[in-house]
Structure 1
Amino acid sequence: MAAAAAAWRKLRAGLIPQVTEGRRWLLIDAKKEVLGRLASKLAIVLMGKDKPTYSPNKDEGDICVVINAKHITYTGGWKLKNKVYYWHTGYIGHLKQIKLNHMIERDPTLPLRKAVFRMMPRNRLHRRRMLKLRVFADERHPFDDKPLVPWTMPPRNIRKPRIYVPRSIKLARRKLAEREAAAAAAAAAAAESEGDGGTAKEGVDRPQ
């Protein structure tokens, strides 16, 4: 029990009064959200760009508590097994790498934290802004005593897939349409000429 309580206190650590004073506590449910879209919106909220009082040299963003990080959606069927994260230890030949599926098995919150970390500018406010991001794998979090405000993502606009048509087929369709239009115009002209000839013939045969 003592170890669990210590771990629970560690999740709340780092939020100094200067960071939490005058900030909103936002509760974000990451279930079925796309990783990149969610990370970009979180970066905007952490920097305070969604407020009219935004200033690049001040830390005025809100505190984001993200839950259900293990249920995040990863678009593209190849990313889980083929997307690779690289880092270097500083020693010669010590280039490390890990695939996305292995990273999720190790820590489900790590992909989202890395995405948000890399979407914010590298300056002196970077660390203080990242302190306001708290990500949890499931619905349990230690901030029940805070005035959490639910925050929802804007609706996702899924475009219909564009069907590729070869240029040769496009040219063939264009020529066919031109031929059909020319044939229709010729048929209309022929019908009009036949009508004019019939009326003229009726005028000649009409008795005086």
Structure 2
Amino acid sequence: MTTAIKSAPDRTSFVKPADVAPKWFVVDAEGQIVGRLATQIATVLMGKHKPEYTPHVDTGDYVIVLNAGKVQFTGGGMVHPEHPAFTTKMAKKKYWWVTGWPSGLRNIPAINLWEKKPEEILRLAVKRMLPKTALGRHMLDKLKLVEGDVHPHQAQKPEAFPAHLMPSKVVS
């Protein structure tokens, strides 16, 4: 009685850090919803949009975000003297952190954060979607936020952000 030798099942291939060639993408954040744009940016920074994604290797790409301070929240519109896209959600949203000292719980309302550092709202949204490890911090370094329409990374020849990864805009 002979038995057929079964071939080994297909193996998962893992990418080595030396084999990764990151690309540069540029996206315009003006009028985009914060959370929806942040999820797509985090996906590209981690490399999950690539078929060779490997969790323990940084396979992601660089992302340049233009007009980072002009993102908006969903919710009903409200009147604000300086922010044209001020909404009820932005009025309620607070960013919390702990200093590490006793009674060190701190917060800042989103509108105050927008007045001080408008691009920080998008950076924090993306940061909280990445792994909370040294690899996640390295991935966040590949996010380049720019306040205006011009960026200093022309030498890297950035491509347009892939259309299938762009979030759909909500018509309000």
What range describes the TM-score normalised by the shorter chain of this pair? 0.7 to 0.9
1:38-79 Cα deviation digits (max 9, x unpaired): 000011000000000001011010000001112112111322
Counterpart of 1:156, as a letter, is S
CA distance in 1, matches of 2:57, 2:132: 14
CA distance in 1, matches of 2:135, 2:98: 24
RCO higher in structure (CA 8 A, sep ≥6): 2
CA distance in 1, matches of 2:131, 2:168: 25
CA distance in 2, matches of 1:115, 1:75: 14
Alignment counterpart, residue 142 of structure 1, candidates 146, 149, 152: 152
Partner of 1:11: none
The Cα of 1:31 is off from its aligned counterpart by 1.0
- CA distance 1:121–1:148, change in 2 (3 Å): same
Partner of 2:31: 32
State the secondary structure of the residue aligned to 1:54: coil
Partner of 1:83: 93
The Cα of 1:154 is off from its aligned counterpart by 3.4
RMSD: 2.2
Equivalenced residues, count: 142
- CA distance 1:157–1:94, change in 2 (3 Å): closer
- CA distance 1:58–1:87, change in 2 (3 Å): same
Counterpart of 2:32, as a letter, is E
Partner of 1:73: 72
- CA distance 1:157–1:133, change in 2 (3 Å): closer
Partner of 2:52: 53
CA distance in 1, matches of 2:22, 2:60: 7
Aligned-residue identity in percent:
35
Do 2:29 and 2:66's aligned partners in 1 also have CA atoms closer than 8 Å?
Answer: yes
- CA distance 1:72–1:28, change in 2 (3 Å): same
Partner of 1:156: 168
Partner of 1:103: 113
Partner of 1:43: 42
The Cα of 1:32 is off from its aligned counterpart by 1.0
Partner of 1:163: none
Do 1:79 and 1:100's aligned partners in 2 also have CA atoms closer than 8 Å?
Answer: no
CA distance in 2, matches of 1:157, 1:136: 21
Alignment counterpart, residue 133 of structure 1, candidates 143, 148, 153: 143
State the secondary structure of the residue aligned to 2:128: helix
Question: Structure 2-normalised TM-score?
Answer: 0.75
More helix per residue = 1
The Cα of 1:158 is off from its aligned counterpart by 5.3
Do 2:36 and 2:167's aligned partners in 1 also have CA atoms closer than 8 Å?
Answer: no
The Cα of 1:120 is off from its aligned counterpart by 1.3
